[in-house]
Structures are given as C-alpha cells and as structure tokens.
C-alpha cells in the first residue's frame, strides 16, 4: 500500500510538515509505503480553465492536461492507495499553493453530468490536516468550520471518504519578542505547544495507521 502526503506549507519543519511526518510514521508502522511531497519545491500553476479534462474523446479526459512541476504528483496521487493533504490556514483559507493543487487534483474528476458524480476510478481513504493560529473558542465564530467543510466535502465526493484533523492555536514563532504580535500571549502559546501539540502528533500517527488499514475514522 502506498500513501502519499502533500505538504501545502512553505515550511518543511513547521507544524503542518511535522504532523504529516507523524501520519506517515503511523502508516509505515502499519506496513505501508509512504512519502511526503513539499508543494513549495514545485513550479506549477492552478487550473488554467482549458477544459481538456472534460473533452469527449480527448487524450486528457479525466485528468489535468497541464504539464508542469505538479504533473508527476497528480499522477502519483491517482495511483496512491491513500492520500493526505496538509495545509496551514493563511488569511482565512488554505495556502495558495494548496489551493492551486486542489483545483488541478479535484476538477478533472468532476463530471459535468447531473449530480456532478466523480469519475475517479476507485475508492481510497483520504485525510486533511489543517494547522491554524485560531483557537477552538473562536473557530466557528470566524467561519473556519466552513473553510474545512468546503474542502472535506469535495474530497469525500471525489475519492470516497475524507477524515479531518485540526491543529489549532499553533505556536508560530521561535522568539515572539522579534515580532509585533501583542494580540497573543506568548506564555500561553508556549504552554499550548508543550501540552497540546504532542497530542496532535499522536492523533496524526493514529490517522496514518487508519489510512494504512484502508479507511479513515
């Protein structure tokens, strides 16, 4: 079994990448092959609205026709047995590179027929890992629940299932004194990092084990 994790954060050792790493550790412990791809290493664009993926009898029907740095990742995702996308929330949405990926990963499988069914040829378990500075207390108030739902639903519709792991109220800076961020209590942030983040990592590892078993929670 091959599990592909895609890191939509520019940081390779940040919160998102760390959680993805733990998820892949869990998958490997369960006997799966697993690897991580860092989107910010790649040169690519979002959907260019060419509609080649919808052209009847076209050579690119059902897959993205654009050829760039994302092409081999899309091909690997199509062959994977499970898929994990990880992204921070920046300015009320997934990172820009993640959004470009989403357009090119999901749109080719969306059929322009009644009900918009998926034409992805199999069912695989998938997961989304979101990291964010927003704490649980204002998560819904700020509309972040809708942000997560907006992606979880098309992921589940396309691939068959999608689990979500949220890592909230993250520790952002190695030294808060170097940044103008007086809205945050550094002591509370550090305490949260020390107490909650290890639990998030453990949940990510459990997620990886579940996906390696063929199904999300």
Write down the domain spans for the chain: 2-213
Band of residue 199 on the pLDDT scale cut at 50, 70, 90:
very high
**Average pLDDT score over the chain:** 95
What does the pLDDT average to over 35-59?
Answer: 97
Calpha distance 210→30 (Å, rounded): 8
Calpha distance 156→182 (Å, rounded): 39
Predicted pLDDT at 216 = 58
CA distances from 129 to 21, 40, 121, 147, 178 (A): 11, 17, 24, 13, 28
CB neighbours of 37 closer than 8 A, spacing ≥ 6? 4, 5, 6, 7, 73, 76
Band of residue 110 on the pLDDT scale cut at 50, 70, 90:
very high
DSSP 141-195: TTTHHHHHHHHHHHHHHHHEEEEEEEE-S----S-GGGS--TTS-HHHHHHHHHH
Judge whether residue 214 has pLDDT over 80: no
CA distances from 115 to 22, 62, 119, 141, 157 (A): 37, 17, 12, 31, 11
Report the b/e string of 2-21 with b at 16+ CB within 10 A: ebbbbbbbbeeebbbbbbbb
Please report where in the chains the tokens 């994790």 appear, as a residue: 5
CB neighbours of 25 closer than 8 A, spacing ≥ 6? 205, 208
What does the pLDDT average to over 126-155?
Answer: 94
For domain 2-213, the question of CATH label 3.40.50.920 is answered with no
Judge whether residue 215 has pLDDT over 70: no
What pTM value is reported for the model? 0.94
Band of residue 21 on the pLDDT scale cut at 50, 70, 90:
very high
CB neighbours of 134 closer than 8 A, spacing ≥ 6? 89, 142, 144, 168, 169
């Amino acid at each position: 079994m091959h599990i592909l994790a895609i890191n939509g954060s520019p940081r390779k050792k940040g919160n998102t990448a760390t959680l993805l790493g733990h998820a892949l550790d869990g998958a490997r412990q369960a006997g799966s092959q697993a690897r991580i791809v860092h989107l910010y290493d790649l040169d690519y664009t979002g959907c260019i609205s060419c509609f080649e993926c919808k052209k009847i009898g076209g050579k690119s029907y059902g897959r993205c026709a654009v050829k760039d740095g994302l092409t081999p990742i899309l091909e690997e995702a199509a062959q994977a047995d499970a898929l994990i996308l990880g992204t921070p929330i920046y300015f009320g949405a997934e990172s820009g590179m993640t959004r470009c990926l989403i357009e090119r990963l999901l749109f080719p499988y969306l059929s322009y027929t009644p009900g918009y069914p998926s034409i992805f040829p199999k069912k695989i378990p998938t997961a989304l890992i979101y990291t964010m500075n927003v704490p649980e207390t204002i998560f819904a108030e700020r509309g972040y629940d809708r942000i997560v739902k907006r992606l979880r639903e098309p992921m589940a519709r396309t691939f068959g299932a999608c689990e979500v792991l949220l890592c909230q109220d993250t520790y952002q800076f190695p030294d808060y004194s170097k940044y103008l961020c007086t809205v945050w209590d550094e002591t509370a942030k550090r305490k949260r990092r020390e107490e909650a983040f290890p639990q998030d990592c453990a949940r990510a590892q459990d997620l990886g084990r579940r996906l390696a078993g063929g199904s999300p929670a």
